[in-house]
Amino acid sequence: MTSGLDQKLRVQLRQAMQELERLEARLQNKADYGPGKGDPAIYEWEFTLAMRETAQARVETIRQAILRCKEGRYGICEQCGAEIDPERLDALPLATKCISCARSTRS
């Protein structure tokens, strides 16, 4: 793994972990769900919960990219095994599919 890529992924991981910690802290204040005790904070709590799930998925995606780098699989399409275009990886360092496979799975 190139040191520049390693550094870029580790910065992204650190940022994603910080965001996850921030969201975890916000979830400590849970609104009251009792009957007839509706609280507008419930919506915000549930929204924060959904954001936490997204942040957890991002952390895992970045960890998987770092693992692929260590194993020499980074930049190889997980679907067809072709090399992922370096320009695509520059734009989307977490890409796991070449552009052709990514397009075919969207259809």
**Residue 33: predicted pLDDT:** 63
Domain ranges within the chain, ordered by starting residue = 3-106
**Residue 73: predicted pLDDT:** 92
Architecture of the domain made up of 3-106: Up-down Bundle (1.20)
Distance CA(51)–CA(48), nearest Å, equals: 5
Report the predicted TM-score, pTM, of the whole model to 2 decimal places: 0.78
pLDDT means per 10 residues, the chain with 107 residues, are 78 96 89 63 87 96 93 94 93 93 81
Asked if residue 96 lies in contact with residue 28, where contact means CB atoms within 8 angstroms, the answer is no
**Residue 4: predicted pLDDT:** 80
